[in-house]
Structure 1
Amino acid sequence: TAPGAHISGRDDVIGFLAVFQEAFPDLRLKLKQLLTDGAAAAAEGTLTGTHTGVLHAPNGDVAPTGRVLELRWAAVYVTEGDTLKSEHLFFDQMDFLGQLGLLPG
């Protein structure tokens, strides 16, 4: 999400993921490490994909650049039974924009 943005609920999460799936139709997530402790978990991995679809961003749509993205991410999860109660996703947004060629030269 955009810096400081918050999404809540199943529909918002699905919508957030759909934005990436549309922009990067060949999107792949690779889990490198998963740590668990009771109801808490932490994970890290990479996300790869080619920007061949429109990216619907908070400041407007970004036309496909054709660039390949390889982004490192980390996340912290809290569960309650079989339900995901929270996820905090971290990735370098400047790296994301830079790889797509969207930063001023």
Structure 2
Amino acid sequence: MKETERVVRQFHESWGMRDPDRGAEVIAEDCQFEDVAREEKQLGKLAYKEDYERWRKAFPDGECIVDNVIVSECGEWAIVEFHNTGTHTGVLHSSLGDFEPTGKRYEVRYCSVMRVIGGMVVEGRDYYDSATIVRHLGLVK
């Protein structure tokens, strides 16, 4: 396994392992990460941990499963296909508002584009269909 693949797997698999410190180990202090659907930028390790906690509180049973990793020929870029599942039993705080628990499960597929230099994630973007999440949670019909 190439170093870039190992790093991006560690980043994503840490969510499902409930180990945000493990994920933060591979994030550069000045990492610039963007959640495209929410139009949110997250800078560095602290923002990663805050986003993890926000998600974990809303979906305590949440899982993150890596489905596929594709590494660019130059070795700096990776595309990570993964899916998240969870039951909405806590308040979900986001830039779109606060959503009270619905007790419903969701499953959504994601794609991350990540750049790894020197064994650290230095930038990335998450793409996913937020409409699927709110539909699964019964927030829209």
TM-score, scaled relative to structure 1: 0.90
Distance 1:76 1:48, change over 3 A: same
How far the C-alpha of 1:76 sits from its partner, in A, is 0.6
Of 38-47 and 57-66, the range deviating more from structure 2: 57-66
How far the C-alpha of 1:59 sits from its partner, in A, is 4.2
How far the C-alpha of 1:60 sits from its partner, in A, is 3.4
Distance 1:97 1:9, change over 3 A: same
Cα contact 2:82–2:109 (8 A) shared by 1: yes
For the residues of structure 1 that align with 2:55 and 2:39, how far apart are their CA atoms?
18
- Unaligned runs of 5+ residues in structure 2 are 1-34
- Unaligned runs of 5+ residues in structure 1 are none
Distance 1:31 1:59, change over 3 A: closer
For the residues of structure 2 that align with 1:41 and 1:16, how far apart are their CA atoms?
21
Question: 1:44 aligned to 71, 74, 81, which one?
Answer: 81
Aligned residues: CA RMSD: 1.4
Counterpart for residue 89 of structure 1:
126
Q: Deviations over 1:63-97 (max 9, x none)?
A: 11000011110101101111110121011011111
Residue 57 (1) aligns with residue 106 (2): no
TM-score, scaled relative to structure 2: 0.69
Residue 99 (1) aligns with residue 136 (2): yes
- The structure with higher relative contact order (CA 8 Å, sep 6+) is 2
SS at match of 1:101: coil
For the residues of structure 2 that align with 1:48 and 1:59, how far apart are their CA atoms?
20
Residue 4 (1) aligns with residue 49 (2): no
Q: How many residues align?
A: 104
Letter in 2 for 1:24: F
Counterpart for residue 32 of structure 2:
none
Cα contact 2:92–2:101 (8 A) shared by 1: yes
